[in-house]
Amino acid sequence: MIRGMGFNQIAILGVGLMGGSIGLACRADANHLKIAGYGHRLEDLKLAMDRGAIGRATGDPAAAVADADLVILCTPVGLFRNLMATIAPALKPGAIVTDVGSTKRSGTELAKELLPPHVQFVGSHPMVGGEKHGIANARADLLTGALCIVTPVESTDPAAVVAIEGFWQQLKMRTTRMSPEVHDQLTADISHLPHAVAAALVRIQSPESLRVAARGFLDATRIAGGDSALWRDIFLDNRDNLKAGVVRLQAELQQLLARLEAGDADAVQEWLGAASKVRSAMKSETRSTKSE
Protein backbone atom coordinates (compact mmCIF):
# COMPACT_ATOMS: atom_id res chain seq x y z
CA MET A 1 0.00 0.00 0.00
CA ILE A 2 1.81 3.07 -1.21
CA ARG A 3 1.32 6.60 0.10
CA GLY A 4 -2.36 6.15 0.97
CA MET A 5 -3.30 5.27 -2.59
CA GLY A 6 -5.07 2.19 -1.22
CA PHE A 7 -7.96 4.30 0.14
CA ASN A 8 -10.99 4.96 -2.04
CA GLN A 9 -13.70 6.02 0.34
CA ILE A 10 -13.08 8.04 3.47
CA ALA A 11 -15.38 9.24 6.21
CA ILE A 12 -14.69 12.49 8.03
CA LEU A 13 -16.53 12.57 11.35
CA GLY A 14 -16.78 16.20 12.45
CA VAL A 15 -16.57 18.87 9.75
CA GLY A 16 -14.95 21.75 11.65
CA LEU A 17 -11.59 23.42 11.03
CA MET A 18 -9.67 20.10 10.94
CA GLY A 19 -12.24 17.90 9.23
CA GLY A 20 -13.04 20.57 6.69
CA SER A 21 -9.38 21.27 5.95
CA ILE A 22 -8.64 17.56 5.52
CA GLY A 23 -11.53 17.31 3.07
CA LEU A 24 -10.33 20.33 1.10
CA ALA A 25 -6.75 18.99 1.08
CA CYS A 26 -8.01 15.62 -0.22
CA ARG A 27 -9.85 17.36 -3.02
CA ALA A 28 -6.64 19.20 -3.91
CA ASP A 29 -4.13 16.35 -3.49
CA ALA A 30 -6.12 13.09 -3.57
CA ASN A 31 -9.00 13.90 -5.87
CA HIS A 32 -9.92 10.24 -6.44
CA LEU A 33 -11.20 9.90 -2.86
CA LYS A 34 -14.92 9.79 -2.19
CA ILE A 35 -15.60 11.63 1.04
CA ALA A 36 -18.57 11.20 3.34
CA GLY A 37 -18.95 13.77 6.10
CA TYR A 38 -20.76 13.51 9.40
CA GLY A 39 -21.68 16.49 11.55
CA HIS A 40 -24.29 17.21 14.19
CA ARG A 41 -25.08 20.70 12.93
CA LEU A 42 -26.93 20.89 9.63
CA GLU A 43 -25.50 24.30 8.70
CA ASP A 44 -21.91 23.04 9.12
CA LEU A 45 -22.63 20.03 6.92
CA LYS A 46 -24.20 22.29 4.31
CA LEU A 47 -21.20 24.63 4.33
CA ALA A 48 -18.79 21.66 4.11
CA MET A 49 -20.74 20.47 1.04
CA ASP A 50 -20.86 23.94 -0.49
CA ARG A 51 -17.11 24.40 0.02
CA GLY A 52 -16.38 20.99 -1.52
CA ALA A 53 -14.78 19.58 1.64
CA ILE A 54 -17.10 16.55 1.54
CA GLY A 55 -19.00 14.86 -1.26
CA ARG A 56 -21.81 13.41 0.81
CA ALA A 57 -23.31 14.65 4.11
CA THR A 58 -25.07 12.77 6.86
CA GLY A 59 -26.17 13.33 10.43
CA ASP A 60 -25.61 9.64 11.21
CA PRO A 61 -22.01 8.59 11.97
CA ALA A 62 -22.77 4.92 11.19
CA ALA A 63 -24.07 5.83 7.74
CA ALA A 64 -20.93 7.94 7.11
CA VAL A 65 -18.51 5.07 7.82
CA ALA A 66 -20.44 2.19 6.19
CA ASP A 67 -18.43 2.14 2.93
CA ALA A 68 -15.26 3.82 4.21
CA ASP A 69 -11.83 2.19 4.15
CA LEU A 70 -10.47 5.18 6.09
CA VAL A 71 -12.38 6.81 8.94
CA ILE A 72 -11.05 10.04 10.50
CA LEU A 73 -12.42 11.21 13.83
CA CYS A 74 -12.29 15.02 13.82
CA THR A 75 -14.65 15.86 16.70
CA PRO A 76 -13.42 17.04 20.10
CA VAL A 77 -11.80 14.14 21.98
CA GLY A 78 -14.53 14.33 24.63
CA LEU A 79 -16.98 12.87 22.08
CA PHE A 80 -14.80 9.92 21.02
CA ARG A 81 -16.41 7.36 23.35
CA ASN A 82 -19.93 7.87 22.03
CA LEU A 83 -18.71 8.20 18.46
CA MET A 84 -16.64 5.00 18.49
CA ALA A 85 -19.48 3.06 20.12
CA THR A 86 -21.87 4.32 17.43
CA ILE A 87 -19.68 3.53 14.43
CA ALA A 88 -18.25 0.21 15.70
CA PRO A 89 -21.03 -2.04 14.29
CA ALA A 90 -21.01 -0.24 10.94
CA LEU A 91 -17.26 -0.36 10.19
CA LYS A 92 -16.17 -2.31 7.11
CA PRO A 93 -13.75 -5.21 7.75
CA GLY A 94 -10.22 -4.05 6.97
CA ALA A 95 -11.07 -0.40 7.49
CA ILE A 96 -8.49 1.84 9.15
CA VAL A 97 -9.67 4.29 11.80
CA THR A 98 -7.63 7.32 12.83
CA ASP A 99 -8.32 10.56 14.69
CA VAL A 100 -6.84 14.05 14.88
CA GLY A 101 -7.12 14.56 18.64
CA SER A 102 -4.52 16.54 20.58
CA THR A 103 -4.13 13.73 23.14
CA LYS A 104 -3.43 10.15 22.13
CA ARG A 105 -3.52 7.74 25.10
CA SER A 106 -7.26 7.96 25.75
CA GLY A 107 -8.32 7.63 22.10
CA THR A 108 -6.05 4.63 21.68
CA GLU A 109 -7.54 3.01 24.81
CA LEU A 110 -11.08 3.70 23.65
CA ALA A 111 -10.34 2.20 20.23
CA LYS A 112 -9.01 -0.94 21.90
CA GLU A 113 -12.14 -1.14 24.05
CA LEU A 114 -14.80 -0.22 21.50
CA LEU A 115 -13.71 -0.93 17.92
CA PRO A 116 -14.10 -4.41 16.39
CA PRO A 117 -11.02 -6.63 15.83
CA HIS A 118 -11.53 -6.55 12.06
CA VAL A 119 -10.45 -2.87 11.84
CA GLN A 120 -7.12 -1.19 12.67
CA PHE A 121 -6.82 1.96 14.76
CA VAL A 122 -3.79 4.26 14.31
CA GLY A 123 -3.87 7.58 16.16
CA SER A 124 -2.76 10.77 14.40
CA HIS A 125 -2.07 14.31 15.58
CA PRO A 126 -1.62 16.88 12.82
CA MET A 127 0.16 19.76 14.60
CA VAL A 128 -2.03 22.50 13.15
CA GLY A 129 -5.05 24.44 14.24
CA GLY A 130 -4.66 27.59 16.23
CA GLU A 131 -7.14 30.02 17.67
CA LYS A 132 -9.56 29.85 14.73
CA HIS A 133 -12.09 27.08 14.44
CA GLY A 134 -15.09 25.93 12.43
CA ILE A 135 -15.64 24.92 8.82
CA ALA A 136 -15.70 28.59 7.77
CA ASN A 137 -11.96 28.80 8.57
CA ALA A 138 -11.05 25.47 6.92
CA ARG A 139 -8.39 25.71 4.19
CA ALA A 140 -6.92 23.30 1.68
CA ASP A 141 -3.39 24.27 2.75
CA LEU A 142 -3.85 24.23 6.54
CA LEU A 143 -1.90 20.95 6.78
CA THR A 144 0.75 21.78 4.18
CA GLY A 145 4.29 21.41 5.51
CA ALA A 146 3.20 20.81 9.11
CA LEU A 147 4.13 17.79 11.21
CA CYS A 148 1.72 14.89 11.79
CA ILE A 149 2.55 12.65 14.74
CA VAL A 150 1.37 9.06 14.20
CA THR A 151 1.00 6.98 17.37
CA PRO A 152 0.86 3.22 16.78
CA VAL A 153 1.05 0.71 19.63
CA GLU A 154 2.74 -2.70 19.68
CA SER A 155 -0.33 -4.51 18.40
CA THR A 156 -0.92 -2.16 15.44
CA ASP A 157 -0.56 -3.74 11.98
CA PRO A 158 2.58 -2.14 10.47
CA ALA A 159 0.83 -1.94 7.09
CA ALA A 160 -1.90 0.23 8.64
CA VAL A 161 0.76 2.57 10.07
CA VAL A 162 2.41 2.90 6.67
CA ALA A 163 -0.98 3.53 5.05
CA ILE A 164 -1.86 6.29 7.51
CA GLU A 165 1.57 7.92 7.16
CA GLY A 166 1.15 7.75 3.39
CA PHE A 167 -2.25 9.41 3.64
CA TRP A 168 -0.90 12.39 5.58
CA GLN A 169 2.16 12.61 3.35
CA GLN A 170 -0.13 12.70 0.33
CA LEU A 171 -1.71 15.79 1.94
CA LYS A 172 1.82 17.32 2.05
CA MET A 173 2.42 16.73 5.76
CA ARG A 174 5.63 15.56 7.37
CA THR A 175 5.14 12.54 9.63
CA THR A 176 6.85 11.09 12.69
CA ARG A 177 6.04 8.06 14.87
CA MET A 178 5.95 7.74 18.65
CA SER A 179 3.92 5.92 21.28
CA PRO A 180 0.72 7.53 22.62
CA GLU A 181 2.45 7.85 26.03
CA VAL A 182 5.46 9.73 24.65
CA HIS A 183 3.17 11.88 22.51
CA ASP A 184 1.12 12.97 25.51
CA GLN A 185 4.25 13.82 27.52
CA LEU A 186 5.86 15.85 24.74
CA THR A 187 2.71 17.74 23.78
CA ALA A 188 1.97 18.54 27.43
CA ASP A 189 5.31 20.37 27.53
CA ILE A 190 5.31 21.98 24.10
CA SER A 191 1.61 22.74 23.64
CA HIS A 192 -0.72 22.16 26.61
CA LEU A 193 1.41 23.81 29.29
CA PRO A 194 2.10 26.86 27.07
CA HIS A 195 -1.64 27.14 26.57
CA ALA A 196 -2.36 26.95 30.32
CA VAL A 197 0.35 29.52 31.02
CA ALA A 198 -0.93 31.87 28.32
CA ALA A 199 -4.43 31.69 29.81
CA ALA A 200 -3.03 32.31 33.31
CA LEU A 201 -1.06 35.32 31.99
CA VAL A 202 -4.29 36.78 30.62
CA ARG A 203 -6.22 35.98 33.81
CA ILE A 204 -3.86 37.93 36.08
CA GLN A 205 -4.11 41.14 34.05
CA SER A 206 -6.16 44.20 35.00
CA PRO A 207 -7.91 46.61 32.61
CA GLU A 208 -5.03 49.02 33.35
CA SER A 209 -2.27 46.58 32.42
CA LEU A 210 -4.14 45.37 29.31
CA ARG A 211 -4.31 48.96 28.14
CA VAL A 212 -0.50 49.08 27.84
CA ALA A 213 -0.12 45.67 26.20
CA ALA A 214 2.27 45.55 23.25
CA ARG A 215 3.13 42.92 20.70
CA GLY A 216 5.14 40.76 23.10
CA PHE A 217 2.09 40.13 25.26
CA LEU A 218 -0.18 39.62 22.26
CA ASP A 219 2.15 36.99 20.80
CA ALA A 220 2.75 35.27 24.13
CA THR A 221 -0.98 34.92 24.78
CA ARG A 222 -2.36 34.42 21.28
CA ILE A 223 -3.06 30.73 21.96
CA ALA A 224 -5.18 31.67 24.99
CA GLY A 225 -7.84 32.91 22.55
CA GLY A 226 -8.56 29.30 21.50
CA ASP A 227 -11.78 27.32 21.88
CA SER A 228 -12.24 26.71 25.61
CA ALA A 229 -14.37 23.56 25.15
CA LEU A 230 -11.69 21.96 23.00
CA TRP A 231 -8.91 22.82 25.45
CA ARG A 232 -11.01 21.74 28.44
CA ASP A 233 -11.12 18.24 26.93
CA ILE A 234 -7.38 18.25 26.20
CA PHE A 235 -6.47 19.44 29.71
CA LEU A 236 -8.76 16.93 31.44
CA ASP A 237 -7.44 14.13 29.27
CA ASN A 238 -3.76 14.96 29.80
CA ARG A 239 -3.92 16.35 33.33
CA ASP A 240 -1.18 14.10 34.76
CA ASN A 241 1.39 15.31 32.24
CA LEU A 242 0.12 18.89 32.45
CA LYS A 243 0.46 18.84 36.22
CA ALA A 244 4.05 17.55 35.95
CA GLY A 245 4.78 20.37 33.50
CA VAL A 246 3.37 23.01 35.87
CA VAL A 247 5.59 21.67 38.66
CA ARG A 248 8.68 21.96 36.46
CA LEU A 249 7.70 25.44 35.27
CA GLN A 250 7.23 26.61 38.84
CA ALA A 251 10.64 25.22 39.78
CA GLU A 252 12.20 27.22 36.95
CA LEU A 253 10.46 30.42 38.06
CA GLN A 254 11.50 29.80 41.68
CA GLN A 255 15.07 29.42 40.50
CA LEU A 256 14.83 32.78 38.74
CA LEU A 257 13.32 34.46 41.81
CA ALA A 258 16.06 33.02 44.04
CA ARG A 259 18.72 34.44 41.73
CA LEU A 260 16.93 37.82 41.70
CA GLU A 261 16.64 37.81 45.51
CA ALA A 262 20.35 37.10 45.76
CA GLY A 263 21.01 40.00 43.41
CA ASP A 264 23.23 37.67 41.39
CA ALA A 265 23.30 39.43 38.01
CA ASP A 266 25.46 36.80 36.32
CA ALA A 267 23.18 33.99 37.48
CA VAL A 268 20.09 35.86 36.24
CA GLN A 269 21.71 36.46 32.88
CA GLU A 270 22.76 32.80 32.67
CA TRP A 271 19.14 31.76 33.35
CA LEU A 272 17.81 34.09 30.64
CA GLY A 273 20.67 33.42 28.23
CA ALA A 274 20.13 29.66 28.15
CA ALA A 275 16.52 30.22 27.08
CA SER A 276 17.44 32.94 24.60
CA LYS A 277 20.04 30.70 22.98
CA VAL A 278 17.61 27.80 22.53
CA ARG A 279 14.77 29.99 21.30
CA SER A 280 16.95 31.99 18.90
CA ALA A 281 18.16 28.77 17.31
CA MET A 282 14.60 27.79 16.38
CA LYS A 283 13.13 29.14 13.20
CA SER A 284 11.31 32.19 14.44
CA GLU A 285 8.13 31.70 12.46
CA THR A 286 6.33 28.91 10.72
CA ARG A 287 3.69 29.76 8.16
CA SER A 288 1.07 31.95 9.76
CA THR A 289 -1.57 29.22 9.68
CA LYS A 290 0.47 26.68 11.59
CA SER A 291 -0.15 26.00 15.24
CA GLU A 292 -1.10 23.15 17.51
Q: In angstroms, what is the minimal distance from the CB of 36 to a copy of itself?
A: 29
Closest to a copy of itself by CB, 159 or 186: 186
Residue 144 CB contacts under 8 Å (≥ 6 apart), including other chains = 25, 171, 172, 173, 287
Residue 31 in the binding site for a copy of itself (CB under 8 A): no
Q: Is 151 in the site for a copy of itself (CB under 8 A)?
A: no
Neighbours of 218 (CB within 10 A): 10
Query: Counting contacts by CB under 8 A, is residue 79 touching a copy of itself?
Result: no
Query: What angle is formed at CA 35 by the lines to CA 32 and CA 40, rounded to 5 degrees?
Result: 170
Least distance CB 77 / a copy of itself (angstroms): 12
**DSSP state letter for 92:** P
Q: Which stretch binds a copy of itself (CB under 8 A): 24-32, 91-99, 155-163, 267-275?
A: 267-275
Q: Does 197 bind a copy of itself (CB under 8 A)?
A: yes
Judged by CB under 8 A, the stretch of 32-40, 45-53, 111-119, 243-251 that binds a copy of itself is 243-251
Distance of CA 187 to the CA centre of its chain: 10
Taking the alpha carbons of 32, 176, 81, 94 in that order, is the dihedral positive or negative? positive
- β-sheet bridge partners, residue 13: 38, 73
By CB under 8 A, tell whether 272 contacts a copy of itself: yes
DSSP code for 282: S
Q: How far is the CB of 148 from a copy of itself (least distance, A)?
A: 10
Contact with a copy of itself (CB under 8 A): which of 42, 136, 159, 186? 186
Does 38 interact with a copy of itself (rule: CB under 8 A)?
no
Q: From the CB of residue 50, how many other CB atoms can be counted at a distance below 10 Å?
A: 10
Q: Does 43 bind a copy of itself (CB under 8 A)?
A: no
Nearest-angstrom CA–CA distance, 220 and 202: 10
Residue from 5, 66, 114, 249 in contact with a copy of itself (CB under 8 A): 249
